[in-house]
Amino acid sequence: MQKLIAAIAGCVIAAASAPRGRQPLTIVAFGDSLTAGHGVPRAESYPADLRRLVAAAGWQARILNAGESGDTTTDALERVPEVLRLHPDWVVLEFGGNDGLRGLPVRTTEANLQATIQRLQQAHIHILLVGMTLPPNYGRSYIASFQAIYPALARRDGLPLLPFLYQDLIPQLRHDPGLLQHDGIHATAAGNRIVAGTVWRYLRPLLRRGDYHGNSSNPGH
Active site residues: 33, 183, 186
Q: How far is CA 71 from CA 98, 100, 148, in A?
A: 7, 12, 20
**Rg from Cα positions in the chain:** 17
Contact 100, 34 (CB under 8 A): no
| Three-state SS at 87 | coil
DSSP symbol at 186: S
Walk across the sheet containing 25-31 and list its strands: 61-67, 25-31, 90-94, 126-130, 161-162
Q: What is the C-alpha separation between 63 and 168, in angstroms, rounded?
A: 21
Q: What is the C-alpha separation between 4 and 114, in angstroms, rounded?
A: 23
Widest pairwise Cα distance in the chain: 54
Beta strands in the chain (DSSP E): 25-31, 61-67, 90-94, 126-130, 161-162
Asked whether the CA dihedral 209, 221, 171, 65 is positive or negative, the reply is: negative
Instruction: Report the candidate in 22, 53, 27 with the shortest Cα–Cα distance to residue 216.
Output: 22
